[in-house]
Every structure is written in C-alpha cells, then in structure tokens.
Structure 1
Amino acid sequence: MEWWKKSVIYQIYPRSFCDTNSDGIGDIKGVTSKLDYLKELGIDVIWLSPVYESPQDDNGYDISDYRKIWDTFGTNEDMYELIEEAHNRGIKIVMDLVPNHTSDEHIWFKESKKSKDSPYRDYYFWKDEKNNWGSYFSGTAWEFDEKTEQYYLHLFSKKQPDLNWENPKVRKEIYDIMKFWMDKGVDGWRMDVISSISKYTDFPNYEEVSPDENYIGDYHTNGPRLHEYLKEMNNEVLSKYDCMTVGEAPGSTPENALLFCDKDRDELNMIFTFDHMDLDAKKGSSIGKWDLEKLDLVELKETLNLWQKGLHKKGWNSLYFENHDQARVVSRWGNDREYRVESAKMFGTILHMMQGTPYVYQGEEIGMVNAYYEIDEYQDIEIRNAYKDLVLDRKKLTKDEFMKAVHTISRDNARTPMQWNSKEHAGFTEGTPWLKVNPRYDEINVEEALKDKNSVFYHYKKLIELRHTDDLITEADFNLIDKDNKSIFAYERRLDEKSLLVVANFYEEEIEFEIGNEFKLDQYTLVLSNYDEYNKYENTIKLKPYEAIILKNY
C-alpha cells in the first residue's frame, strides 16, 4: 500500500505556528522546535503552507522567488534542517506548490511588464480588452498596465498575476522548481488551485445578469489542457520520486476527480474538493460564500457519501473540515461553548473513520475556535476586499450581516496564532503577534490539553493510532446508514465479515437512534467514544449531545 494511504497529514501555517525570534511572526525554527509535539500526536506528514520569498500580499501565496525562503521565516539552511529533523522522527515534509500565479514582484513579471516585446511577456496573460471574469478576491480579474496599455489576468489579488501554462518555458520553470526542492528531501506537494492552470484562452464572457458585475464560474477551472499538463508534470518530475501529491481542485465532482487521481492515469494521488465545505453558502447567491444559510446535515451526508462511493477502489479521498482557508469547524457547525470538547471530538470521529487521507489543521487537535473580532482586527485580504466591495461600495450586505458571515466562515478564524500555553500571547511569541491571539487561549491551549487525558488532543491521537493499526479503515467499503435522518450521522465500514460502525449525534439535543435490524449491537464492542460510556438497549442507542461512538464487530 502506498505510504500516504496510511498517513495522517498535519498542516502548518508557518506565520501562526511558533515564533522563536520574537518578531511576532512564526518561523521555520519554530516548526522544528515543535516536532516532538507532533511526533507525540502521531502524525506522519507535515504540509507546510508557503515559506518562499514573498511580499506577503496574500500571506505567501504571492511568491517572488520559489527557491528562496522568506527572510522573516528564516533561511534555506533552516528549511533543510527542518527536513532532516522531521525525517529523523519518521515525519515527511510536503511543501505548498503555487503554480497558477506568482507575485507581481517576481522577476518574471517584472520583465514581462517592461514591454510587449519582452521575452517574458508570454509568461503571463496580456490582453487589449478585458472580459467579465471576476477575481476570487472581489472585483475584476483584470488589471490595466498604463505603460504597455494592456490588461493582465489575475484570478486572485492584482499582485498575483496568473502564469501562462500554454508557454512550455513556464512549465519547465515550474518543473525545475519542484526538482530543486525534492532533491533537498521534500516528500511531496500540495498544489494550490491546480485546476486553474489551464485557461480557456479565447477568454469567453460569462452570461451577464448585470453589466456591472464580474463573474466567477466554470471558465475559472478545469481548462481544456489541464490533464495534459498534469500528465506531463508526472512524467517529467513526480514519477521520478517517491512522493505524495494533493491538488486543490475547486469545481470538481466525484466523476472528474478520477481524471486527477485514478492511479492508472499517472497524474496526482488525490485532490481537495469543496462540495462539503460549500454547503452552508446560499445556492445561486451573487455574493458567494458571504451569503450563508444553516447547514443541512442530510445534504452533508449525501455529499460525503457521493465522494466515498465515487472514489472507492478507483481514486483516493482527502479528508478535511479545517485548513488555512476554512474556519474552525467546532464554531462553524458545532458548539464552541458548552460542548466545545464533545463537538470537536465528534467532528474528528466522523472524518477520520472514512476512507482517504485525513488532514489535521494546526490547533484542530486541541479544539481551537473561531475569533470573533472587529473588522479592523482582521488581516486577510479576502475579508478586507469583500468588506469594501459588498458593504461599502455596492451595499449588498449591511456591516452586521457581513460580520456575522466573517465570524462564521472567514479565513482568519483559522489563522490566529497557535495556542501553546496560557502565558501572554498563548506562548506563540514574546513579541507582538502579527494577528491578534484568540482571547480564549487561557482555556484552550496545548499545555492544558496534554495534562488532560480526556482532551481533544488525546482523542485525535487515538483516531490516528486506529488508522495506523486497522487496515479496515483504509480498505473497507463505506455504507451510509439512515441517510435521511436529520440529526444522526451514521455509517458502516465493511470488509468481508468485519464491520465498523460510526454513530454520531450532530446536535446538542439528546436523541434515541434505532439502528437497523441487520446490526446486532450485542455483537459489537466499543472502540472509542467522546463520553465515558454509551447507552444502548436492544438495537437502540441513546446519544448525548454531540456524542460520537465507534463500534466494531470482528
């Protein structure tokens, strides 16, 4: 079995993880200093968000030099030391590849801007006229350059011009960068918005609802040459290393996901999908993610079931509820007050017993929660641009409506500094943190979690141990139970005569759940629970608020 199928991956957002030089920003030495903590948790792989040289317009996803570590994070030597020390502990390192765009301060773009005759001009997309494509960070996806009197394309910030993968020189540049780091010992890649690297080069307009609008849709992803490029990348680079790849692929379905990760196609190992994380966004809204509605549990179960069934024995799922682009799930869909610990464990249980590779985002393993800040306390460019666009300029939302959405789903909820202890700034830094520390750090921190054997940390540790030791979790079929139940998330993992049951109460009202007659509960033993005991009689389980149990019959 490929090593990444048994692995649990821990994502680190370096600027918020651990600061060793008191400048208020985390660094690579800080990551190295916490390797023993991660070893104790039991994870196998660290995914490191971008650490390259960058003006930090989008916190490192705007890269000005792919071969150099950003000075604030440390040096290349610090990175090489991290790789070595992680490997010494049996932990692999996956870096973040950002192949869709660079910083506008990258030498390629600086040269590209000089003239229409620059040899770097076609490293990017330049047009005489813009279309109605929108930026994911609000507004138009085109920026006018007065010197050469053309527009350049940027699907994200205007300081993140999109690379032109039609140009074979661009592709070779990216492949050489990948080889550079893998030759230093890097074990794989998380590929940022990989589904956008191929463009519809006729740049068709979206069908207009209003001439003043900019639109985001199918033309932003899954362009006509995408899989040609990925096959070439695999042939030129990936096939030559024992590595792991996961591509961020918005716009994917279980069907086209197999184009990425069917093992016979020689492209990627798995992708990040967004179907399940977009379910609380109002369908068809013109303001996207900021227009929220209550999560429908039945819809969540149906979506995850489609992915589990659709990729079984053909592809491989990536499993996540949190990352640097998603809010804290215990605040978003759970209860981050009275039942913070119980609901945090419940979400972990649901996710980690599915088939796929689980991703743990820093702080998720101690049940960190959303930050309920004022608008001027957030740093994220996405929040600031959306506030200007939706509240101040177009008045699509009131400030209160927008802030309710920010407090629920915005990215800075996950980017607050890691909470190590109850000392000032949560032990993250002795300086002034770049982003305000969540005020609940005195209650929620690693030091407290390690002292409490019933903490979220030790529950996650047990979930990770189960994946390492029980092949059923990686190999068995997935069967959803009582799919229309509005309160219970239950499923079976079955392999031949072996059966594993996961039953979870998604809400805080106690509920009695009658499981089907085909499941003889007296033949099952308890593997793990987020309460001291679970109550059953005959084929009925009485579930407490956010209770989650794992039972086995083998």
Structure 2
Amino acid sequence: MFAEITRRAAVLLLMIGMMAAAAVALGGCSNEEASLSGEEIRQESGGKVYYEIFVRAFHDSDGDGIGDLRGITKKLDYLEELGVEGIWLMPIHPSPSYHGYDVTDFYGINPDYGTLDDFKDLLKEASERDITVIMDLVVNHTSPEHAWFKSSASDPNGKYRKWYKWIGPSDPVPISAATGYPAYKEYGDSKYLGIFPGSLPDLNFDHAEVRAEVKKIAAFWLELGVGGFRIDAAKHIYEDLEEDKTSKEAAAKNIAWWDEFRAAVNKVNPHTYIVSEVWDDSAAKIGPYLKPFNSSFNFNLANEMTWNASGESASNLAFSLDRIHGLYDRMSSSSFIEAPFLSNHDTNRVMSELNGNLDHAKMAASQLLTMPGNPFIYYGEEIGMQGKKPDEYIREPMIWSQKKYEGQTTWISNKYNALTASVEDQMKDSDSLYSHYRKLIQWRKDIDALRHGDIKPYSISHAAVVAFRRETEKEKVLVLHNLSRKEQLFQLEDSNEFDTLLAGSKDNIILSNNQVTLPPYSSAVLE
C-alpha cells in the first residue's frame, strides 16, 4: 500500500513538469470577473479550518435517530470550541437516498433534516460565531426521481427532453470515464447518459437552459447566506466518457463552463468560497480548475500525510507543494487556496488507515493542521472514529457519549465505532486526540504564518522528521514533526535563523544553541 519516498518524489516531479503544458493548453490565469484581487481572496477566505458534516450522522434534535439541521445548530458551540471556522454540509436537499447525492429538488431541504427556516436559523447562528457555511452543490446529475428527468423521459418533444442526453436502444454505448462501466442506462425504449452508479442521469450542460438553471440555484442559496459551495464531480461535466480523459476539448469545455459559473456567482457575492472535487492524481489536470475555483481537494497530499504518519518516515512534501503552488498561483492570479484533508465521506477513515494507532493519528493531524490553506476535518476525525468501505461504514453516527445521550444519531449501527472514545470523554482528557486537534487548531490562530503563510522546503538529515518553513511577509517559522517512536536530536542549518520555540505539542521539546530535541511523536514551531 505504501509507496517508497523516492517513487513519490519522482511521480510528483513528473506531475510538475506536465503542468506547464496544461497551463498553455487550457489558458487563462486571471479571473476577470472577480472584484477582489487574488491576495484579497486568499487573505479573506484562506487559513480557516473547515469541518465536513454528514447531517444524517451528526446530531439529532428531535429523537428520531436521524441527524438534522437543528442538531447542528445545537452543536455550533462544540465546533466553535474546537476552533472550527467553516462548515461543509454534505447534501441537504430532498433525495430518495440516505446520502443525498441524487437530488430531487435543488431549492428544497430534505424533510429528514428539517425545513428551510431551520437552515436559515443555522446560517444565522453560525454567522454570529464567525463560522462560514458552505454546502454541497451536486449538479453533474440528478435523481431519476427529479421532476425534470421524469418529464424528459416521458415526453420526447417536451421542454426537459434536452436537459438530459438520450440515445436510441440500438445505438452503441461508450464507457464511463468515472467508473469504467457503460455510460448509458436503459430506460424504456431509450437510453440516457448516467456515468455514475445508481442510475443517476447526467444533466446536459450543452443546453443553455440547464446552465441558466444551475446559476439560478447557486444564486438562491447565496442570497440566503451560504458562504460558498463544495462542487461535486467538477471534472465530469464534460468528461463523461473514457475517451474524454485525454481530450483537450472536454477539459476546455469543463473549464469554460465553470468560468461562466464563477462569473455568475461573483455577481451575487464576489466573496464566495468554492472548493471543488477534482479527483485526479495529475496536478496538470487539477491546476486549470483553480481559475474558476478557489480550492480543489488535495487527494495526493492526503495520501502522503497518511503514509508519513503510518510509516514513521518523512517525505519532503514541502518541496513538491512549493513548486506546484507556484504554478497554481500563476494560473489563479494568486487566489488559489490549498485544501488539505486526511479523509472524507468517499475514502476510508484515516484512523482505520492508521490501524487505530493513536500516536500516528496525532502525527497525521499535526501535518494536516500545519499545512497552508484551509484544512478540512471529516466529522469524528478529531475523536479517532474509524470506518472502511462500503460507504455506509465511513459515515457512521458521531459518538457524543458512551452513555445514553439524547442527541445521538442511530441511522445505522456502529460497526466500527461502538468502542470509540466519545467526545464527552475526550474533552476531559488533555492527552486525547480531541485535545490534540484543538491545540493544533489554536496554533493556527496564534501564529499568522501557519494561518496565511506559504510553504517552503527546509533541509534536515533525519528521515523521521518532517520539516518545512511557513512564511508571510512579516513572519517566518519552522515546523518540525517527529513521526517516530524515538527521540530525535539534530542541528538546524548553520545559521541562527530560528532561535525561539513558539509552540510545542509536548513539554520536553528543547531548542538550545541551534540544536533541537524532539520527543517521540511530537511537533514544534520555531521562530
């Protein structure tokens, strides 16, 4: 499972080399529609810690066992105390599924989760705590139960027929770029394009009415007070088929659409923060999306930080990030904001990937929370919740207490987390994973270079120590993570550039005469 560091470095360097070509091919580095400069966007929207919530699993306000919006509102104080400044809500729209990624009404609230008034209350209460709320925007496809699709399927001559893509029963069926399975699904005597599992029909973004409707949907939620969106399946608007993966035309059409979307969003609120899901190993394919989007989730970095922690072996992640970020900055007019994470609702939980090792979980968290940009925490990650696919088991109920607790959700039984130390217990324990997350988040608030600084490499000879600089114009710090079970003693580079210990995760960290002593599984920030 774990690749060698040298292999990772070689792959990353290859990716960097490919990105320049992508920049030329896909063009455009400025966001002419934005009324804010790139640096203003980065200062305003960057540096926040976001918390991803699966509403159904989080907190129940009415005793039916299903998490809801009022339940989240009741837990805003918990999130504020943890240090969270942003919330990403997984889909909250009406849907026939438990997960909500097959929407039947883009203007409504899932009745399991409450009402539109409940959502407005959540936005108001979050705003009073300076917590931004962003929401999943799932517009690549709809549910087959959506009224648009039902009309499209039943009336070949009707208004909504062209809102989806149809072929005849004997037409050849190409392969989906997303799954490797047939891209068209049978429906009566026709077939519709649906590249994802579950019979989800793709919207036809070549149709002007579809594009206008999606912009209208975004405006509706922004005007209510939503601070932005997480864009689901962002690269699959036109990358529908297997042959589209290498098609410059498909990539260019994707970017053109999202540029159009960004321009429309900026007319409603130029401060809108948008983070995209462009799930790809190639930075060359990710980079162009950072013109219309502020951020794109960094899946490669998630793997690298997890590998580092699990293997107790440091990669030079700052070397690759520094170079990739340089190009991303140019492509986005310096508005690009990194979006690091460890796990999310589509991946095995990081604690399971770390085989339940608490020390490794703390070191993974330490890396995450000292990264540039907006770190994202998946709900329950801060208490070490576990889970492996299928998806239901990476979305288990949040563990608030091991005692009877009225807000506990029970939408599915806890296969992995029945014995997980609860929020209640961990809040009382200064050495718990929860306390570690809270401490590292506070570092970001206290040290501006951690919150807003760039990342730069720093050479160090110890294979178990991750080292990098974080820099703003006014502040420069050195971040050190001892990933190993052994104490690490080493000299800094021969200058006295860093001579003050600003923060340490353990009491017995020593900095003296340019020499650092790091206890096992510890982190330090030097100035």
Look up the SS of the partner of 2:377 in the other structure.
strand
Q: Distance in 2 between matches of 1:55 and 1:37?
A: 30
Specify which of 103, 114, 119 is matched with residue 63 of structure 1: 103
Are the structure 2 counterparts of residues 488 and 182 from structure 1 closer, same or farther at C-alpha, using a change threshold of 3 Å? same
**Corresponding residue number in structure 1 for 2:369:** 352
Structure 2 residue identity aligned to 1:500: V
TM-aligned CA deviation for residue 15 of structure 1 = 0.9
The reply on whether 1:525 has 2:510 as its aligned counterpart is no
The reply on whether 1:232 has 2:250 as its aligned counterpart is no
1:270/1:315 contact within 8 Å kept: yes
Are the structure 2 counterparts of residues 221 and 85 from structure 1 closer, same or farther at C-alpha, using a change threshold of 3 Å? farther
Q: Distance in 2 between matches of 1:193 and 1:344?
A: 28
Are the structure 2 counterparts of residues 512 and 539 from structure 1 closer, same or farther at C-alpha, using a change threshold of 3 Å? same
TM-aligned CA deviation for residue 439 of structure 1 = 5.5
2:140/2:236 contact within 8 Å kept: yes
Specify which of 443, 447, 464 is matched with residue 487 of structure 1: 464
1:279/1:295 contact within 8 Å kept: no
Structure 1 residue identity aligned to 2:343: E
Q: Which blocks of at least 5 consecutive residues in structure 1 are unaligned?
A: 207-216, 282-292, 373-379, 384-410
Are the structure 2 counterparts of residues 22 and 307 from structure 1 closer, same or farther at C-alpha, using a change threshold of 3 Å? farther
TM-aligned CA deviation for residue 117 of structure 1 = 2.7
Specify which of 372, 395, 420 is matched with residue 415 of structure 1: 395
Are the structure 2 counterparts of residues 83 and 506 from structure 1 closer, same or farther at C-alpha, using a change threshold of 3 Å? same
2:255/2:288 contact within 8 Å kept: yes
The reply on whether 1:270 has 2:295 as its aligned counterpart is yes
**Corresponding residue number in structure 2 for 1:187:** 227
Q: Which blocks of at least 5 consecutive residues in structure 2 are unaligned?
A: 1-39
The reply on whether 1:84 has 2:64 as its aligned counterpart is no
Are the structure 2 counterparts of residues 55 and 478 from structure 1 closer, same or farther at C-alpha, using a change threshold of 3 Å? same
**Corresponding residue number in structure 2 for 1:9:** 50
Q: Distance in 2 between matches of 1:42 and 1:314?
A: 24
Output aligned runs, 1:45-194, within 5 Å: 45-56=86-97, 59-128=99-168, 129-134=171-176, 136=178, 139-145=181-187, 147-149=188-190, 151-194=191-234
**Corresponding residue number in structure 2 for 1:453:** 430
Look up the SS of the partner of 1:223 in the other structure.
helix
TM-aligned CA deviation for residue 352 of structure 1 = 2.0
**Superposition RMSD on alpha carbons, in Å?**
3.3
Look up the SS of the partner of 1:162 in the other structure.
coil
Q: Distance in 2 between matches of 1:157 and 1:34?
A: 34
1:345/1:548 contact within 8 Å kept: no
Structure 2 residue identity aligned to 1:8: V
Look up the SS of the partner of 1:246 in the other structure.
strand
Look up the SS of the partner of 2:365 in the other structure.
helix
**Corresponding residue number in structure 1 for 2:448:** 471
Q: Distance in 2 between matches of 1:79 and 1:93?
A: 10
**Corresponding residue number in structure 2 for 1:316:** 337
TM-aligned CA deviation for residue 76 of structure 1 = 1.7
Structure 2 residue identity aligned to 1:311: Y
**Corresponding residue number in structure 2 for 1:260:** 289
Q: Deviations over 1:480-538 (max 9, x none)?
A: 234896432211123458431211133445554554334666x1314131x33225665
1:165/1:197 contact within 8 Å kept: yes
TM-aligned CA deviation for residue 160 of structure 1 = 1.4
Q: Distance in 2 between matches of 1:108 and 1:294?
A: 50
Specify which of 367, 371, 380 is matched with residue 387 of structure 2: 371
Specify which of 12, 15, 24 is matched with residue 65 of structure 2: 24
TM-aligned CA deviation for residue 546 of structure 1 = 2.8
Are the structure 2 counterparts of residues 172 and 495 from structure 1 closer, same or farther at C-alpha, using a change threshold of 3 Å? closer
Q: Deviations over 1:43-87 (max 9, x none)?
A: 222111101000116x10110111111111112221122112222
Corresponding residue pairs, total: 477
Identity of paired residues, percent?
A: 29
What is the TM-score of this pair, normalised by structure 2?
0.81
Q: Distance in 2 between matches of 1:306 and 1:470?
A: 24
Q: Distance in 1 between matches of 2:235 and 2:71?
A: 32
Q: Distance in 2 between matches of 1:196 and 1:532?
A: 49
**Corresponding residue number in structure 2 for 1:248:** 277
1:196/1:222 contact within 8 Å kept: no
Larger relative contact order (CA 8 Å, sep ≥ 6):
2
